[in-house]
Amino acid sequence: MTEKKEKVKFTLTERQKKILPVVMIGAFFEGFDFMVISLALPYISSAYKLNTESASMIVSIVAIGALMAFFVVRLADRFGRKPIFLSAIIIYSILSLGTAFAPSVYFFVVCQFIARVFLVVSWALGFIIMTEEFSNELRGRAVGLFQSAAAVGAIFPSLLLPVVSMTSLHWRGLYIIGALPLILIAIWGKNLEETPRFLELKAGIGKMDIKPPLMAVFSPQFRKYIFAIMALWFFMYLCYSSSMNFFTYHVVEELGWKEGQVGMVNAIAYTLGLLGYVAVGKLLDTLGRKKTAFIFFALGSLAVIATFQTTTFYQVLIAQVMGVFFLGTFTVLCATFTNELFPTSIRANATAWGNNIIGRIGTIAAPALVGIMQVPLHGTGNAVSVLALAPFVCIAIIAIFLPETLGYECPEYIPPEK
């Protein structure tokens, strides 16, 4: 790897100014949709007369849609980033609208399952587009800015729920809002151009179809990285998913908090947590990818443990603010290594394997593990705290198996070894 380069001021070109609003739609609504189903679940359960077990099953089934995104994300290495990204946004929006008027729970599940597939596709491709549109010296800040849109999106459902609750639509109004990308893409979609890296790749290998084999990332020259990347995403999500999904349950059921306390703490934490994306982006581009990852993974782990081990309101408030500040950047760290270690020809393929298959298994496994461990460990807080140690495994993976990628430019195309 090359030596760390001198800091470059973060400025946007005219092209990037046009592209950025379009790409950030994917991140914003990924955060929005993720929070909507958690926030509206009690009202959805009431509308469809579901018990707790059935409601939990719905969340699990919808989450599996993220695994299915694997097959769609890979298509971006063949057909390009632009058409797959825009198609994913449009399909997600239509299905969000369908969810709003779902006449039965079965229709609701089908719409949300498929919507989650394409929402995760747009989010994953957003990371790839940002990686390919920005130089190595600016990429950390660009990716941090992109993911900050997801954090902003996660705040809006809490703000909008009281508003839609005053209408006859109630929770369904949130899913109508989730269809807004149809209008936004109609306005801004034309500003999104195919990434230069993909166009150079396509021109460089001629008019032949770009169809990377399913197992291309496992060929000898990439194998040393892909297994590390898959493990990185998996262990990151064990901490990320468990802490995100069980915070409200923990403070309400185990600490006796009221709804107003939960709302206040989350509003403060997610607002101040936006600063984490600014900080991680700057450090990635100055301190380096590996050192920044060590700091944020370690402090994020400790902050989550503090959140689930402290008991007074203000202790939990401070710990949750710190937890969201660091935890929200975990996806930025994983995406940066994933997108910088693989060439353009198989970059989406690597993301699909690392994030959408192995990583998302972590999101499915985390709630189950919390459920299994909470009895012998005497509480959900203790179970989540154990899974919060997973980022230290991520640190070990990065330290042992991954190189520093600041200043490293991966080639556009490397023919897989036979």
User: How confident is the model over 1-18, as pLDDT tens digits?
Assistant: 444 445 678 888 899 899
User: How confident is the model over 153-205, as pLDDT tens digits?
Assistant: 888 887 888 888 888 888 899 999 999 988 998 888 888 999 988 888 777 65
Q: Please indicate, yes or no, if residue 359 is contained in any of the structural domains.
A: yes
Percent of the chain's residues with pLDDT above 90: 38
Structure confidence at residue 3 (pLDDT): 47
Reduce the DSSP state of residue 256 to 3 states and report it. coil
User: How confident is the model over 41-89, as pLDDT tens digits?
Assistant: 778 888 898 876 677 678 778 888 888 888 898 888 888 999 999 999 9
In this prediction, residue 291 has a pLDDT band, given cuts at 50, 70 and 90, of very high
Q: What is the mean pLDDT of residues 221-246?
A: 91
* Alpha carbons 97 and 102: distance in angstroms, whole number: 9
Computed over its alpha carbons, how large is the radius of gyration of the chain? 21
* Alpha carbons 171 and 163: distance in angstroms, whole number: 10
Q: Please indicate, yes or no, if residue 242 is contained in any of the structural domains.
A: yes
Q: Which residues form the domain of 189?
A: 14-401
Greater pLDDT, 343 or 401 = 401
Q: Please indicate, yes or no, if residue 7 is contained in any of the structural domains.
A: no
In this prediction, residue 207 has a pLDDT band, given cuts at 50, 70 and 90, of very low
Nearest to 405 by CA among 284, 277, 233: 284
* Alpha carbons 355 and 361: distance in angstroms, whole number: 9
On whether the pTM is more than 0.85, the answer is: no
Q: What is the dihedral of CA 198, 204, 208, 214, to 10 degrees?
A: -50
Q: What is the mean pLDDT of residues 118-144?
A: 88
In this prediction, residue 206 has a pLDDT band, given cuts at 50, 70 and 90, of low
Greater pLDDT, 233 or 347 = 233
For all residues of the chain together, what is the average pLDDT? Answer: 86
Q: What is the mean pLDDT of residues 213-235?
A: 87
Residue 74: phi and psi, rounded to 5, are -60, -30
Q: What is the mean pLDDT of residues 229-257?
A: 89
C-alpha 200 chain-centroid distance = 28
- Helices assigned H by DSSP within 165-258: 172-177, 181-188, 196-204, 220-249
Q: What is the mean pLDDT of residues 12-31?
A: 89
Q: Please indicate, yes or no, if residue 415 is contained in any of the structural domains.
A: no
Q: What is the mean pLDDT of residues 278-299?
A: 94
Structure confidence at residue 418 (pLDDT): 44
User: How confident is the model over 325-346, as pLDDT tens digits?
Assistant: 999 899 999 999 998 888 888 8
Q: Please indicate, yes or no, if residue 139 is contained in any of the structural domains.
A: yes
User: How confident is the model over 97-123, as pLDDT tens digits?
Assistant: 999 999 999 999 999 999 999 998 998
* Alpha carbons 154 and 163: distance in angstroms, whole number: 16
Q: Please indicate, yes or no, if residue 408 is contained in any of the structural domains.
A: no
Residue 10: phi and psi, rounded to 5, are -80, 105
Neighbours of 365 (CB within 10 A): 16
Q: Please indicate, yes or no, if residue 188 is contained in any of the structural domains.
A: yes
How many structural domains comprise the chain?
1
Q: Do residues 194 and 210 touch, judged by C-beta distance below 8 A?
A: no
Which CATH number fits the domain that encloses residue 124?
A: 1.20.1250.20
Nearest to 77 by CA among 412, 321, 326: 412
Percent of the chain's residues with pLDDT above 70: 92
Q: Please indicate, yes or no, if residue 46 is contained in any of the structural domains.
A: yes
Structure confidence at residue 351 (pLDDT): 87
Q: Do residues 280 and 332 touch, judged by C-beta distance below 8 A?
A: yes
